[in-house]
């Protein structure tokens, strides 16, 4: 099996990513894209494994933010 390296080279050079101020072209753009896919897959796996405790975690995080802001609604249960 022989690879056409010219076509692969053209593909790599033509790969571009622009996200706001972040601009990448060629191999660095491919690394950024691959990293994004891996990060998204890890986040999905984390959420599926911890789905049962997610509502409680979010509620506690909201209470923490409210208490740091000095919100009078956030009170510890008696």
Which one has a higher pLDDT value, 25 or 71?
25
Kindly tell me the sign of the dihedral angle through the C-alpha atoms of 70, 71, 76, 78. Answer: positive
* Residue 26 falls in which region: left (phi positive, over 0), alpha (psi -120 to 50) or beta: left
Q: CA-CA distances (angstroms) from residue 28 to 10, 23, 50?
A: 15, 9, 33
Nearest alpha-carbon partner for 66 in 55, 76, 56? 76
Residue 28 and residue 35 in contact, taking contact as beta carbons nearer than 8 Å: no
- Which structural domain, as residue segments, surrounds residue 17? 5-69
Q: Give this prediction's pTM.
A: 0.56
Give domain status of residue 75, yes or no: no
Give domain status of residue 22, yes or no: yes
Give domain status of residue 76, yes or no: no
Give domain status of residue 78, yes or no: no
Read off the pLDDT of residues 27-43 as tens digits, 9 standing for 90 and up.
888 888 899 999 999 99
């Amino acid at each position: 099996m022989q690879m056409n390296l010219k076509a692969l080279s053209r593909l790599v050079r033509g790969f571009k990513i622009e996200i706001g101020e972040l601009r990448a072209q060629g191999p660095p753009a491919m690394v950024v894209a691959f990293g994004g896919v891996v990060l998204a897959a890890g986040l999905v796996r984390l959420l599926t494994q911890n789905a049962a405790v997610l509502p409680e975690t979010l509620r506690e995080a909201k209470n923490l933010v409210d208490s740091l802001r000095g919100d009078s609604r956030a009170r510890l249960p008696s």
